[in-house]
């Protein structure tokens, strides 16, 4: 396997403009002759599909939900970053780049991150032109809020529903192209395999989730925008249908999987309430602008929070990180929540929660001001917990939220399989070992609106792409594989449900491959994952049949893939003998619990090649060395 | 923590052509902190263990934002709690021994796929007809070039917040999709960016809505009452006005 990142040479500031200067173009007449498949219609997929169709390509989109508009991106709350510097507080493309690469703890490519920062401003322009109703000030100009990991105010927002509004903008742009006849949109279709012919991605296999039929689709390029794999933990803030299946099946066809162990655990989620829990709800990080995080200093203190006086409250983020305080990056905030609860200072019935308190902000700005900023989040919290956060502090705890790892891509966002592009959360590209808030929306839209349309064109213009037929044996083989796997799952007819297995897998992952990891724990996790995987294939019970709508069959196939991915995540975490970003290895930390990074040995992207699975996962590690030419690697400090 | 026994009466239908019927289930040990959909998850776990087909229902985010869930609970779309999608409803709303009737949203334009899952693709086609601003990627001017009055931006947001769940259709005695269509129009038509296409958009979307087989609006206002995000029916009046202006 050869991994060439294909980063253009030259100064950081001109890499992308030089690339655009030299990019190969497809003539308008020829674009019409090419078909492109876009899998997933979240921010990355909808924006890519709309933009490619506007250019004249014939696009087919696929998604699991019953409308493209319902992709998981719809749930993003807090906002989207851009380097507009409307606040005149010293922001710039360089600073956004620098914050993002530092926030990622120097485990991402300089060139990609710089391009992301460069594209950020255009995204805001595009969204506003589509009618996205961003928050505005009295003068009618765009407003900003602050997010963790930055000292400037650069986050654009639509109340607490920024993802919804941006996605609707992209979805509407996509539907405009459906109307124009340039996009065929297939909803309730799940991709089950990638078809590779002569070494190039030439199509996909899907299952029609309504009638259960297995279908073949051919194309000149496939763009995977299928989101992240946080649901491997069972409980996460991801939507219930978020999954790794499309990416994993591509991995099994030869695409390298990069940095699988980099998982972001978001510090501000509503704590687990019982074992029936099906998902976790995020409380936007923007709440940390005004909310103060604390626990009682005395683990025995059982007074209601409002009766605990100032001197008995431990505002641990403010005390430990005086310059960033409550706005430290997510990994730091999550790790500290774990430290204080490990020390017995946690609150609530389970002891697995900390307070996020708005008392002082309400005193300072008034209830109305706080309500205007966070009203819908407060309502959501009250609805779920039955507590009123205007009166008593919220209880929060970290939860799995975002996966920085994903399929390996080069500067073109192309995987090592020619013709397979990967955009949005599904790729590994821009966030290193930790993602800063409000930067996933930015990345998905940068990929979809402003990168993919050029790089896919460059690929199509430069490749020989003879017509392929759906009767090609590679299509038949992949379709047969997909059908057989489903049949196999249905035929186990065991005693334990898919959800029971998934929950058990999630617990192993949370305990041993979660906020902190150790060599010993990871080795145990691998053993446990393997034996549970074996049990799964012998004892899972999947109801019904494959030839009609059957949600639990869909879940079963996804959980089967999680069982393989889970092992790879643990292996990757075991390989990385350092702590960086969200990856904290117990063995590599200072006495105060700060991460110890090892740039000499681990400044690389780990890219795993799939060899085979036969009870045991056979993989091979490849390393893409990260060369930092423009920034100096520093120990991150938010003190 | 208190637990309850809940009696369920759920619509079961094998596929679009099949004749459906209600089936009755009893569920013990329902925890008050469970969400409504988690209660159905538990029912399904039991059914699977008993070798029976689980109840199919749509969901994704379970946070009230994706608009996938759309159950009609005791005759009311999304259940009893105002401004709450059914995925955000919690069992503490109910008491021990209660009977809950669960149906799909019923409308000619929303055929049943299985059990409680319906086909809402008609909504996509209404958006496709004109629910956008025609701006290509790359053609946008600088974002702050056109100020938008804060109040206008806020109103636009209030309409843009529609989650496209279809509760408005389920609640309407005429199965009208007026609230859904009007909310998109009210969002885009009032923004400077959306004004140039106002008339064309209004006509195209209204006509598509009719072509899909949704009924007319007779001002029952049931839609507004069940809307989980509180879209106002004043949008419908606005839609009518703009439509009449555009066609005459
Ligand atoms: C609660 C929450 C709040 C967030 N808030 C913010 C925020 O404020 N700011 C920010 O920057 N980021 C935020 N994020 C992160 C951000 O929302 C996501 O990373 C981003 O939206 C992912 O977009 P995407 O286009 O890559 O994928 P997704 O939106 O996840 O879309 C994936 C698409 O792929 C489809 N799909 C998946 N598998 C298959 C398959 N096998 N076959 C066919 N289709 C498939 C799905 O149906 C869907 O259409 C938040 C995330 C969560 C969970
Ligand atoms: S499941 Fe998304 S709104 Fe209910």
Q: Average pLDDT for residues A220-244, to the nearest whole number? A: 98
Final residue belonging to a domain, choices A344, A376, A400: A400
Do A134 and B153 count as a contact with CB atoms less than 8 A apart? yes
Chain B residue at shortest CA distance from A237: B61
Closest to B53 (Cβ–Cβ): which among A127, A449, A543? A543
Residue A38, token pair as written in the block: 């876009």
Q: Is residue A297 assigned to a domain?
A: yes
Q: CATH number, domain at A498?
A: 1.20.58.100
Give the model's pLDDT for residue A637. Answer: 75
Atom of ligand 2 nearest to the CA of B70: 4
* B105/A contact by beta carbon, under 8 A: no
Cβ of A493 under 8 Å from any chain B Cβ? no
At A214, the pLDDT band (50, 70, 90 cuts) reads very high
Q: How far is CA A465 from CA A30, A35, A194, A204, B189, in A?
A: 12, 11, 17, 16, 44
Domain annotation covers residue A61: no
> Do the strands B76-77 and B72-73 form a parallel or antiparallel pair, or are they unpaired?
antiparallel
CATH of domain B3-103: 3.10.20.30
- In terms of domains, do A370 and A500 share one? no
Check CB contact under 8 Å for A129 and B131.
Answer: no
Contact across the interface for B150 and A84, Cβ inside 8 Å = no
A94 burial level (CB within 10 Å; 0-12, 13-18, 19+): middle
Secondary structure (3-state) at A73 = helix
Q: Which atom of ligand 2 is nearest to the CA of A75?
A: 2
Question: How far is A305 from A313, CA to CA, in rounded Å?
Answer: 9
Burial B107-128 (b: 16+ CB within 10 A, else e): bebbebbbbbbbbbbbbbbbbb
Indicate whether A497 belongs to any domain. yes
Tell me which DSSP letter residue A615 carries.
S
* Interatomic CA distance for residues B32 and B1, integer angstroms: 7
Q: Does A72 touch chain B (CB under 8 A)?
A: yes
- Judged by average pLDDT, the poorest of A295-299, A382-386, B157-161 is A382-386
Q: What pLDDT digit, counting tens, does each position of A561-603 carry?
A: 999 999 999 999 999 999 999 999 999 998 777 789 999 999 9
Nearest-atom index, ligand 1, CA of B63: 1
Query: What helix, strand, coil percent values describe chain A, rounded to 5?
Result: 40, 20, 40
Ligand 2 centroid to residue B178 C-alpha, Å:
21
User: Is residue A286 over pLDDT 90?
Assistant: no
A48 within a domain of the structure (yes/no): no
A278 within domain boundaries: yes
Q: Assess whether pLDDT exceeds 70 at residue A621.
A: yes
Residues of chain A above pLDDT 90, percent: 89
Which of A44, A64, A72, A280 should be mutated for ligand 1, with most atoms under 8 A from CB? Answer: A72
Indicate where chain B has its CATH 3.10.20.30 domain(s).
3-103
Tell me, yes or no, whether A480 and A382 share the same domain. Answer: no
- B85 pocket-lining for ligand 2 (C-beta < 6 Å): yes
Cα separation, B2 vs A441, whole angstroms: 41
Region A255-266 average pLDDT: 97
CATH of the domain at A371: 3.90.700.10
Q: Report if residue A335 sits inside a domain.
A: yes
Residue A424: name the closest of A437, B55, A293, A439 by CA: A439
Nearest-atom index, ligand 2, CA of B88: 4
CB A200 within 8 A of CB A253: no
d(CA A58, CA A55): 9
Q: Is the ipTM beyond the 0.95 threshold?
A: yes
Instruction: Please indicate, yes or no, whether residues A356 and A499 belong to a single structural domain of this protein.
Output: no
The length of chain A is 639
A527 CB neighbour count, 10 Å cutoff: 12
Question: Same domain for A491 and A589?
Answer: yes
Q: What is the mean pLDDT of residues A514-535?
A: 97
Confirm if B84 and B228 have CB atoms less than 8 A apart. yes
Q: What H or E segment, with its residue span, contains residue A486? A: helix A473-492
Element (H, E) at A251: helix A245-252
If we measure between CA atoms, which residue out of A557, A456, A491 comes closest to residue A209?
A557
Any A CB within 8 A of B108 CB: no
Domain count, chain A: 2
Give the number of the ligand closest to the Cα of residue A123.
1
**From A141, A161, A278, residue closest to B65, measured CB to CB:** A161
Q: How far is the CA of B66 from the centre of ligand 2 (A)?
A: 5
Is the CB of A175 less than 8 angstroms away from the CB of B150? no
pLDDT (0 to 100) of residue A613: 59
At B237, is the secondary structure helix, strand, or coil?
helix
Looking at the complex, does the CB of residue A11 fall below 8 Å from at least one CB of chain B?
no
Same domain, A391 and A272: yes
* pLDDT computed for residue A145 by the predictor: 87
Going by their DSSP bridges, the two strands B117-118 and B112-114 should be labelled as: antiparallel
Strand order from edge to edge, sheet including A189-197:
A189-197, A200-208, A214-218
Dist CA A100 CA B108 (whole Å): 50
Q: Which residues of A are catalytic?
A: 330
pLDDT of residue A614: 62
Point out the least confidently predicted range of A274-288, A311-325, A359-373, A444-458.
A274-288
Residue A283 or A440, more confident: A440
Superfamily of domain B120-247: Alpha-helical ferredoxin (1.10.1060.10)
Which tokens hold the place of A533?
């995987």
In angstroms, the separation between the Cα of residue A163 and the nearest Cα of chain B is 10
Cα–Cα nearest to A176, from B190, B195, B214, B135: B135
Residue A81 belongs to some domain of the structure: no
Q: B229 — contact with chain A (CB < 8 Å)?
A: no
Question: Which residue is closest to A84 within chain B, CA to CA?
Answer: B143
**What is the nearest CA distance from A47 to chain B, expressed in angstroms?**
9
Contacts of B123 in chain A (CB under 8 A): 67
Q: Which residues in chain A have Cβ-Cβ distances shorter than 8 Å to B52?
A: 543
Q: pLDDT tens digits, residue range A360-377?
A: 999 999 999 999 888 888
Pocket probe for ligand 1: among A48, A163, A252, A398, the residue whose CB has the most ligand atoms within 8 Å is: A163
| Interface contacts A/B by beta carbons within 8 Å | 219
What is the least distance, in Å, from the CA of A2 to any CA of chain B?
A: 34
Q: Given A352, A375, A400, which residue is the final one in a domain? A: A400
Q: What is the pLDDT of residue A273?
A: 87
Q: How many CB atoms lie within 10 A of CB B76?
A: 17
Q: Which residues pair with A204 in a beta bridge?
A: A194, A217
Whether B87 lines ligand 2, by a CB cut-off of 6 Å, is yes
For the stretch A135-166, pLDDT in tens is 999 999 999 988 777 889 999 999 889 999 99
For residue A610, the enclosing domain spans: 473-625
Under the banding of pLDDT at 50, 70 and 90, the label for residue A84 is very high
- Predicted confidence (pLDDT) per residue in A477-513, tens digit: 999 999 999 999 999 999 999 999 999 999 999 999 9
- Using the mean position of ligand 1's atoms as its centre, give its distance from the Cα of residue B143 in Å: 25
pLDDT recorded at residue A631: 95
Q: What pLDDT, on the 0 to 100 scale, is given for residue B121?
A: 98
* Atom 14, ligand 1: residue with shortest CA distance: A76
User: Does A375 lie in the same domain as A292?
Assistant: yes
> pTM above the 0.95 mark?
yes
Ligand 2 closest atom vs CA B64: 3
Question: What's the mean per-residue pLDDT of chain A?
Answer: 95
DSSP E strands: which ranges in A236-282? Answer: 257-258, 263-269
Instruction: Enter the DSSP assignment of A446.
Output: I
Distance CA(A143)–CA(A158), nearest Å, equals: 10
Mutate to test the pocket of ligand 1, among A63, A279, A422, A485 (most ligand atoms within 8 A of CB): A63
Other Cβ atoms closer than 10 A to A132: 29
Beta carbon of A483 within 6 Å of any ligand 1 atom: no
Q: Given the DSSP bridges, would you call strands A263-269 and A394-403 parallel, antiparallel or unpaired? A: antiparallel
Q: Domain for residue A4, yes or no? A: no
H/E run at residue A386: none
10-residue averages of pLDDT along chain B (248 residues): 91 97 97 96 98 97 96 98 96 97 97 98 98 98 97 97 98 98 98 98 98 96 97 98 95
Is B54 near chain A, with CB under 8 Å? yes
Beta strands in A510-564 (DSSP E): 516-517, 540-541
Query: Are B124 and A135 a contacting pair at CB < 8 A?
Result: no
pLDDT of the residue at B216: 95
C-alpha distance from B72 to closest chain A C-alpha (Å): 18
Distance in angstroms (rounded) separating the CA atoms of residues A435 and A113: 11
CA of A260 relative to ligand 2 center, distance in Å? 28
User: Alpha-carbon distance A352 to A350, whole Å?
Assistant: 5
Q: Are residues A384 and A528 in the same domain?
A: no
**Pick among B6, B82, B122, B132 to test the A interface (most A CBs inside 10 A):** B132
Is the backbone of residue A73 left (phi > 0), alpha (psi -120 to 50) or beta? alpha
Dmax (CA) for chain A in angstroms is 74
Here the tokens at position A424 are 């949005």
Q: Report the separation in Å between the CA atom of A591 and the middle of ligand 1, taken as the mean of its atom positions.
A: 37
Tens of pLDDT, residue by residue over A162-208, are 999 999 999 999 999 999 999 999 999 999 999 999 999 999 999 99
Query: Are A394 and A495 within one domain?
Result: no
Pairing relation of β-strands A540-541 and A496-497?
parallel
């Amino acid at each position: 396997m050869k991994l060439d990142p294909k980063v253009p040479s030259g100064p950081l500031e001109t890499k992308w403009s030089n690339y655009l200067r030299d990019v190969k173009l497809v003539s308008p007449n020829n674009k019409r002759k090419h078909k492109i498949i876009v899998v997933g219609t979240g921010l990355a997929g909808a924006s890519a599909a709309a933009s490619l169709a506007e250019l004249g390509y014939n696009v087919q989109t696929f998604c699991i939900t019953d409308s493209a508009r319902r992709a998981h991106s719809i749930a993003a709350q807090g906002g989207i970053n851009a380097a507009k510097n409307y606040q005149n507080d010293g922001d710039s493309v360089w600073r956004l780049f620098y914050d993002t690469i530092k926030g990622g703890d120097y485990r991402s490519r300089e060139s990609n991150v710089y391009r992301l920062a460069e594209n950020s401003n255009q995204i805001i322009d595009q969204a506003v032109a589509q009618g996205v109703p961003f928050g505005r000030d009295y003068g009618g100009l765009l407003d900003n809020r602050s997010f963790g990991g930055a000292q400037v105010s650069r986050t654009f927002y639509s109340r607490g529903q920024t993802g919804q509004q941006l996605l609707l903008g992209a979805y509407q742009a996509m539907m405009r192209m459906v109307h124009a006849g340039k996009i065929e949109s297939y909803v309730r279709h799940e991709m089950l395999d990638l078809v590779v012919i002569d070494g190039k991605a030439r199509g996909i296999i899907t299952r029609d989730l309504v009638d259960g039929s297995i279908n073949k689709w051919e194309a000149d390029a496939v763009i995977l925008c299928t989101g992240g794999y946080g649901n491997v933990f069972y409980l996460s803030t991801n939507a219930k249908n978020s999954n790794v299946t499309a990416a994993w099946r591509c991995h099994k066809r030869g695409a390298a999987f990069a940095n699988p162990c980099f998982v972001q655990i978001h510090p501000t989620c509503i704590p687990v309430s019982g074992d029936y829990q099906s998902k976790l709800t995020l409380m936007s990080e923007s709440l940390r602008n005004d909310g103060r995080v604390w626990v009682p200093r005395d683990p025995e203190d059982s007074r209601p929070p409002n009766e605990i006086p100032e001197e008995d409250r431990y505002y641990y983020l403010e005390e430990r990180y005086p310059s960033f305080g409550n706005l430290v990056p997510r990994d730091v905030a999550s790790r500290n929540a774990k430290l204080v609860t490990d020390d017995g200072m946690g609150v609530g019935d389970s002891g697995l929660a900390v307070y996020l308190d708005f008392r002082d902000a309400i005193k300072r700005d008034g209830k109305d001001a706080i309500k205007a900023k966070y009203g819908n989040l407060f309502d959501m919290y009250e609805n779920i917990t039955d507590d009123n956060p205007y009166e008593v502090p919220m209880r929060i705890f970290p939860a799995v939220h975002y996966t920085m790892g994903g399929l390996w891509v080069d500067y073109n966002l192309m995987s090592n399989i020619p013709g397979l592009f990967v955009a949005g959360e599904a790729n590994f590209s821009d966030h290193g070992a930790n993602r800063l808030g409000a930067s996933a929306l930015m990345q998905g839209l940068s990929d979809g609106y402003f990168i993919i349309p050029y790089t896919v064109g460059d690929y199509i213009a430069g490749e020989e792409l003879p017509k392929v037929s759906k009767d090609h044996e590679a299509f038949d083989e992949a379709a047969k594989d997909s059908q057989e796997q489903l049949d196999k799952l249905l035929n186990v007819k065991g005693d334990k449900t898919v959800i029971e297995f998934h929950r058990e897998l999630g617990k192993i992952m949370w305990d041993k491959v979660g906020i902190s990891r150790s060599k010993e724990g990871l080795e145990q996790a691998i053993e446990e994952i393997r034996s549970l995987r074996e049990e799964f294939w012998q004892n899972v019970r999947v109801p019904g049949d494959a030839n009609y709508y059957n949600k639990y069959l869909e879940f079963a196939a996804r959980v089967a893939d999680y069982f393989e991915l889970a092992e790879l995540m643990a292996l990757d975490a075991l390989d990385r003998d350092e702590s960086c970003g969200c990856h904290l290895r117990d063995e590599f930390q200072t006495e105060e619990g700060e991460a110890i990074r090892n740039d000499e040995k681990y400044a690389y992207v780990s890219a795993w090649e799939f060899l085979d699975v036969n009870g045991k996962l056979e993989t091979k590690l490849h390393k893409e060395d990260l060369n930092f030419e423009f920034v100096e690697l520093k120990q991150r400090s938010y003190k | 923590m208190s637990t309850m026994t809940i009696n369920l009466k759920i619509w079961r239908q094998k596929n679009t052509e099949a004749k459906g019927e209600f089936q009755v289930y009893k569920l013990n040990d329902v925890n008050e902190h469970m969400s409504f959909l988690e209660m159905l998850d538990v029912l399904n776990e039991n059914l699977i263990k008993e070798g029976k087909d689980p109840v199919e229902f749509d969901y994704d985010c379970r946070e009230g934002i994706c608009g996938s869930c759309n159950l009609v609970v005791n005759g009311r779309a999304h259940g009893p709690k105002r401004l709450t999608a059914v995925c955000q409803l919690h069992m503490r709303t109910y008491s021990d021994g209660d009977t809950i009737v669960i149906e799909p949203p019923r409308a000619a334009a929303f055929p049943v796929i299985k059990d409680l899952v319906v086909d809402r693709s008609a909504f996509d086609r209404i958006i496709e007809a004109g629910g956008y601003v025609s701006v290509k990627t790359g053609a946008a001017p600088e974002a702050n070039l056109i100020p938008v009055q804060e109040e206008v931006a806020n109103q636009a947001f209030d309409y843009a917040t529609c989650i496209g769940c279809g509760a408005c259709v389920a609640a309407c005695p005429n199965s009208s999709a007026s609230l859904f269509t009007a909310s998109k129009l009210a969002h885009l038509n009032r923004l400077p960016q959306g004004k140039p296409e106002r008339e064309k958009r209004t006509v195209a979307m209204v006509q598509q809505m009719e072509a899909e087989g949704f009924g007319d609006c007779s001002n029952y206002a049931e839609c507004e009452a069940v809307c989980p995000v509180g879209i106002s029916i004043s949008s419908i009046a606005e839609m009518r006005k703009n439509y009449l202006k555009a066609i005459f």
